[in-house]
Each structure stands twice: as C-alpha cells, then as structure tokens.
Amino acid sequence: MTKFNNFINGEWIPADRYIPNINPSDISDVIGEYASADEVATREAIAAARAAAESWAHSTPQERFNILDFIATEIFARADELGELLSREEGKTLPEGKGEVLRAGQIFKFFAGEALRLSGETGASVRPGVDVEITREPVGVIGMITPWNFPIAIPAWKIAPALAYGNTVIFKPAELVPASAWSLVEIISRSGLPRGVVNLVMGPGRVVGETLVSSEQVDGISFTGSVAIGHRIRATAAARGARVQLEMGGKNPLVVLDDADLDVAVNCALQGAFYSTGQRCTASSRLIVTEGIYEAFVEKLTAATAALKVGDARDATTQIGPVIDEKQLQSNLEYVESAIREGGTLVCGGQRLDLEKRGYYMQPALITDTTPDMRINREEVFGPVASVIRAADYDEALTVANDTEFGLSSGICTTSLKYARDFKRKSQAGMVMVNLPTAGVDYHVPFGGRKGSSYGPREQGAYAREFYTIVKTSYVWAGE
C-alpha cells in the first residue's frame, strides 16, 4: 500500500502513524495510507511557515502570479484524473468530482490575477503638504482547517488568496479526504514556491488542528466545518488575538410560492437538497411551500426523488453517490427517525441501501408534514434528507425561512418580481438565490453566511483580501 507523507519546509516527511483512506462507494477499496502528524511535526510546519513569511511577504506580484498560474494550469490539465480521485475518496459523482477540480483551477487562475491587481489608494491629507497612502500587507502565517465535503475546492479558496496576498500556509485537511489535499500540495510543491511557504500537515483535528489554533506563531486561522468545532476554534484563537474566519453549517430554506414555475421549483429542490448526497453546507434542507402549489409540488418532487439513482460514485449512471462514512450515515438515519417520531411523514427514501459493493448508501429521504420547531428543521443533517413545511402565504414562508440560527444560503422560486425582490432584501442569509438551487455559487464573488453560519470576513472573490491582508495607512510630509 502506497504511503503518502506530509509536506513540511519543502520536504516530504514520514510520520509514525498512517491512516487508510477508504472509498465510501466500496469499503474494500483502500486508496492509500496517509500520514497522521503529531504535535511535534505540526510545530515544525508552523516554524517553517514562520521562517518563510518575511521573504514571501516581499515576493513580487509577478512571482506570485507565475506560481498560482502554474498550479491552475496543472489542475486543469489533470481534471479527469483528479476528479476521479476526488469521487473515489469523497463519494461525489464523477461530474461533481471533476466539476469541483475545475473549480479549484478557476480559483487559482482568479487569484493569480488578483496578485497582480493588488494595489492601494492615495489621497490628500487634511493637513497641508501631507500625503496619505493606504496599502495592504500580508497577515503572516495562516493555519487552514478544512472539512471533507469539498476536498479540493475549499483548500483552493483558502490557499490561493493566502499566497496571492503574500501569506504563508499550514494546511490541515479533513482526515477522511487526504488524497485530494495531498495531490494539490504535490502540484504546489513543484510550482517554484520557496520552501516553507505552503506546508501540508495531515492528521487529527484534536492534535494538528488544536496545535495550529493555539500556537502564538500562527497569525490567522481560516476554518470551514461544523458549528461545534468552529466555536471552539474561535474561543481559543480570538483569545490570543489571532485573526479568525469561520464558515460553518447551514439549515438553508427554499421557499416555493404559488406562482412558481413547478418544474423549476422541483428541479431546484431536487438539485439543492440531494445532489452531492446532500453533503453541502448550502444544501436546501427546508422546503417551505405555500398552500396553492403544495400538493402538486410534493407529488412531483416525491416522484423525482424516488427515481434518483443511488450508486457507486464512479458509475456513469449514478446520480447520488454514497454518504461519506458509517457515522454520518447512522446520523442521517437517526434524523429521519426523529422527524417521524415528531409527526413527520416519510414519503420516500430514508433507508440504507445494500448494493453489490459494500458502501455507505442511502436512498434520499423526503419528509412532509413537518413544522418549524421539529429537530429536523432546526439542526443541520448534512445528508440526503429534506423536509417540507407548509406555509399559508409568502409572509409566513419568509418568517419560517428566517426562523433558524443559521444564515448561509436561501432561495425562492417565484415568477413574481415583487416577492423575489422582497425576499432578497429580507432573507437573513449571506447568499440568496431566485429560481436557482441554494447550492451552486460563482467563484469570483464573495461566499459566506451570517448569523450562526459564519464569523469574520467573506471568502472568495476580491473580498478574500479582507481576511488575508492587513491595512496600513501611511502619512508623508515632504517638507516646505
């Protein structure tokens, strides 16, 4: 079995422990054994990033452009192979896996351009003979902690801006998906980047993650993952004065109004709730439907959900791949049971599937007759499970949509400009979709949520600079 090492200070470093990376579509398929770092190795990576920070902070925009462009170009050239690997380790279908890899390439291209575009502002002072200049400088050493559900896109949207704006990186991927992370860093290792600028430290959150978060040598932490871990990280990192950016869970509503185009609405719900096995922070998990369209919508969505083909992620006919692991699958099934116990009606799916290959398969679940106070409508499931809530009219639907501690993404299906406009303004979410699924975003504009879903500046697009740079204001008096 091939062993994959950590990348610290420009070298591939073996570890004492290695963890097998299991294919969730076929648990007899082991992709490789990936290093699991200890605290000492993590501290070495931090020291390497610290030592490289000063010099990299003064690298030229051209140097940063060349490196980011090299990475993007190779990602594009190897999209099929990397997409297959991603599908194999995470369980996304092949089009989803390749799509995510291409997205990572686009992100690196975008930030290659941003490296060239970074400029400041100058202005006249209120004092005579004085000039004012506003510039942006790198933050320094950034620790990145990422989840398993986007194994290459999320690392890309953290590493690319960090480098473009002159920071050094310690990247800790999720334990369940080290192969995409390793492949990305392997490309980065050949990009001409000076040693120590990017370090890969695979291993457990409790060891590698906590060492990064508590180290005085790490200037900023960018985290994507669950609310519970995010809050823990914020408490520790903010207490020592580090910069913190958190992207966490969602309980995203999709409102369907009487005047919606039925096919558009069903398609938005199907895509948003179940594709990528529902394992998206932006998944539509609460479908809030008004009276006039309720019966027709539920009937059509039920038929479409029941027809979804669940199977091996790399089988060309598969629409819904497996759940990531046994623990997540059990948790999904438990949420379905809790919804039924509280009065919901399971209209289709919701069971484990035993297919030819042993994997973590689940038929997507649609649950009707749910109310906003039920657990299924309050907690993030993070699986192929959606619940339907009946609303009397638009006003009630809006109230229900906002009745959540989360605020990542929201959507409305309507042909009314009036309601679409009102929803865009009043929805308490970071991203609002009209006649589009709640999941599926562009890479050149800000991404992020509000309320309990996010903390700190937005990711992606030019807004990423708010986290990865520090603003400096300089005053110059040139004399009489």
- Per CB under 6 A, does 232 bind ligand NAD? yes
DSSP conformation class of 427: -
Contact 282, 409 (CB under 8 A): yes
- Of the residues 268, 281, 348, 413, only one is catalytic, namely 281
* Cβ partners under 8 Å of residue 231, min gap 6: none
Where in 391-420 is the site for ligand NAD (CB under 6 A)?
408
Segment near ligand NAD (CB under 6 A); pick from 96-104, 227-235, 365-373, 417-425 = 227-235
- 229 contacts ligand NAD (rule: CB under 6 A): yes
Nearest of 263, 239, 257, 195 to residue 390 by alpha carbon? 257
Q: Is 247 a catalytic residue?
A: yes
Neighbour order of strands in the sheet with 168-172: 11-13, 6-8, 198-200, 168-172, 141-145, 220-224, 243-247, 454-455
**Residue 171, interface with ligand NAD (CB under 6 A)?**
no
Of these, 104, 277, 380, 381, which contacts ligand NAD (CB under 6 A)? 380
Distance CA(219)–CA(241), nearest Å, equals 8
**In the window 16-75, what residues touch ligand NAD (CB under 6 A)?**
none
Residue 247 binding ligand NAD, by CB under 6 A: yes
CB of 150 to ligand NAD, least distance (A): 6
Place of tokens 């809050």: 231
The least distance separating ligand NAD from the CB of residue 231, rounded to whole angstroms, comes to 10
- Choices 130-138, 182-190, 241-249, 251-259; region in contact with ligand NAD by CB under 6 A: 241-249
> Smaller CB distance to ligand NAD: residue 152 or 347?
152
What's the closest the beta carbon of residue 324 comes to ligand NAD, in angstroms? 8
**In Å, how far are 150, 208, 384, 440 from 97, measured between CA atoms?**
9, 27, 17, 14
Query: Residues with Cβ < 8 Å from 97, sequence gap 6 or more?
Result: 83, 84, 85, 86, 87, 90, 313
Cβ within 8 Å of residue 28, ≥6 positions away: 357, 358
**How far is 240 from 237, CA to CA, in rounded Å?**
6
The interface mask with ligand NAD, positions 203-222, x = CB under 6 A, is --xx--xx--x---------
What is the closest distance, in whole angstroms, from the C-beta atom of residue 332 to ligand NAD in the complex?
A: 13
User: In the chain, what is the straight-line distance between the N-terminal and C-terminal CA atoms, in Å?
Assistant: 74
What does the per-residue mask of binding to ligand NAD show for 138-167, with x meaning CB under 6 A? -------xxxxxx-----------------
Q: How far is the CB of 280 from ligand NAD (least distance, A)?
A: 7
Say whether 84 sits in a helix, a strand or coil: helix
Which of 135, 189, 226, 331 is in the footprint of ligand NAD by CB under 6 A? Answer: 226
Residues 387/344, Cβ–Cβ less than 8 Å:
yes
In whole angstroms, the minimum distance from the beta carbon of 311 to ligand NAD comes to 23
Task: Retrieve residue 136's tokens.
Answer: 């942006």
Site for ligand NAD in 281-300 (CB under 6 A): 281
What residues are labeled active site? Answer: 247, 281
Binding site for ligand NAD (CB under 6 A): 145-150, 172, 174-175, 205-206, 209-210, 213, 224-226, 229, 232-233, 247-250, 281, 380, 382, 408, 453
